[in-house]
Amino acid sequence: MELNAPAPVDNDGRDVIERTGVESSRRAHTVAEANSVYEIPRTATVINSNGFSCIALQFPDELLADSSLVSAELQRQAPNARIFTLADTSYGS
């Protein structure tokens, strides 16, 4: 098979560009809820025990409201890691 051009893409991305807003709602209103819902202590343990230093978080559109709480708490529990929340919300696409 000879590759002379990029493979054709079935989707040109128009659906993402033309998508109307997705309502975001909180699942975690407190740090305790975030720790439970997102398993932050367990995640921090893995980060700390393996010495990971750069962590990227990605949330689906409907959970973006929790991203800053989760990121801040994970940073507190894994202080030697840099925590980033990705701006690309095409989670699962």
Per-residue pLDDT band for 27 (boundaries 50, 70, 90) equals confident
Task: For residue 26, name the pLDDT band (cuts at 50, 70, 90).
Answer: confident
57 near 86, Cβ under 8 Å?
A: yes
Q: Does position 22 have pLDDT exceeding 70, yes or no?
A: no
Bridge partners for 56 per DSSP: 84
Q: What is the pLDDT of residue 17?
A: 62
Query: For 9-15, which contacts have Cβ atoms below 8 Å and span 24 or more sequence positions?
Result: none
Whether the pLDDT of residue 1 is over 70: the answer is no
Query: Model pTM greater than 0.85?
Result: no
First to last CA, the chain: 28
Quote the tokens at residue 86.
């990705």
Quote the tokens at residue 21.
Answer: 């807003």
Residue 22 carries which DSSP code?
P
Q: For residues 40 and 81, give the distance between their C-alpha atoms in angstroms, rounded to a whole number.
A: 14
Count of other CB atoms within 10 angstroms of residue 92: 7
Q: Which tens digits make up the pLDDT trace of 29-84? A: 899 999 999 999 999 999 999 999 999 999 888 888 899 999 999 999 999 999 99
Per-residue model confidence (pLDDT) at position 78: 98
